[in-house]
């Protein structure tokens, strides 16, 4: 079973990916376009051109997980954008909001780490 923990690094691809690609094709995309190591345990998130589906690729130490979610109606309303980067980092709880077709930028969660006053 795949479990995304708060300690995991999550990278979201800015540009749409060709969803005919399987595990090997997306792993190659991680190396070339996103400059990431697919064997590092990083969670890589991709979307299709019409923004109706997402694919999540992660290596758990034994093998790859490839999860695909396609919305039955509508599109994913939010997706990160950047003119100069191929990917953007995201927190695990923001990924959960994104997968539920929500807007992760609107979450008002507590920071992952904060200094405790003495």
Q: Which helix (H) or strand (E) holds 22?
A: none
Give the SS3 label for residue 105. Answer: helix
Give the SS3 label for residue 48. Answer: coil
Q: Domain limits of the chain?
A: 10-106
Contact yes or no for 30/46 (Cβ under 8 A): no
Per residue in 38-70, pLDDT (tens digit) is 999 999 999 999 999 999 999 999 999 999 999
Whole-number pLDDT of residue 32: 94
Whole-number pLDDT of residue 1: 65
Whole-number pLDDT of residue 33: 92
Tell me the H-state helices in 1-115. 23-32, 92-99
């Amino acid at each position: 079973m795949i479990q995304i923990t708060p300690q995991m690094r999550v990278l979201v691809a800015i540009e749409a990916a060709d969803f005919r690609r399987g595990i090997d094709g997306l792993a190659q995309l991680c190396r070339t376009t996103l400059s990431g190591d697919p064997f590092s345990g990083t969670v890589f998130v991709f979307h299709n051109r019409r923004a109706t589906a997402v694919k999540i690729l992660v290596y758990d130490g034994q093998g790859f997980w490839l999860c695909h979610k396609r919305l039955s109606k509508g599109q994913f309303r939010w997706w990160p954008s950047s003119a100069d980067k191929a990917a953007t980092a995201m927190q695990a709880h923001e990924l959960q909001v994104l997968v539920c077709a929500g807007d992760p930028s609107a979450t008002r969660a507590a920071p992952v780490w904060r200094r405790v006053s003495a």
